[in-house]
Amino acid sequence: MTEIPMAGFEGTKPPVTDSTPCVSRRQFVLHGSLATIALVLAGCGGGGPTSPGSVSLTINLSDYPALANVGGVAYVSSGNNPLAVVRTGSDTFDTVSRICPHAGGTVNSNGSGFTCPLHGARFTDSGTWIGGQPTSSLTSYTTQYDSGAGTLTIS
């Protein structure tokens, strides 16, 4: 049996045709770009911050020497919820969560309020957002002072 050459395909096999359509260059670039954007946006997320939980805690002021003076700040914990207690007057105190509402970082006292080390959000001693990364204020808790017992009840 002799092979008969096909016109235009001398010495080669004819092109293979497939029923699967090819992706055009435009479609490839579009889909690749969309996939890249999706990955970048997913990386920006982080799942959101952890919400501070409810608190029910009583502390003795004598255990926290920093709270002996107005302006003093003490870090306390209620389970997995880090708190900051600030003495704002002779018999007044503010308690706020140390969990930044933006990305869940733990804020630190800066001498005149709190700062989030992750993105620079700044808060007053009472937890009000005042600058840096836009976010909401820190969660604040009711704090009752019993001067006779020398205790603070935080809820």
The DSSP secondary structure of 81-143, one letter per residue, reads EEEEEEE-SSS-EEEEE-B-TTT-PBPEE-SSSEE-TTT--EE-TT--EEESS---PPPEE-E
Q: Which residues pair with 59 in a beta bridge?
A: 152
Among the listed residues 126, 121, 152, 151, the one whose alpha carbon sits nearest the alpha carbon of residue 139: 126
Query: pTM of this prediction?
Result: 0.67
Can you give the pLDDT at residue 140?
96
Contact 121, 135 (CB under 8 A): yes
Can you give the pLDDT at residue 100?
96
Can you give the pLDDT at residue 47?
47
Which residues of the chain, if any, have pLDDT below 70? 1-21, 32, 34-35, 37-52
CATH number of 57-154: 2.102.10.10
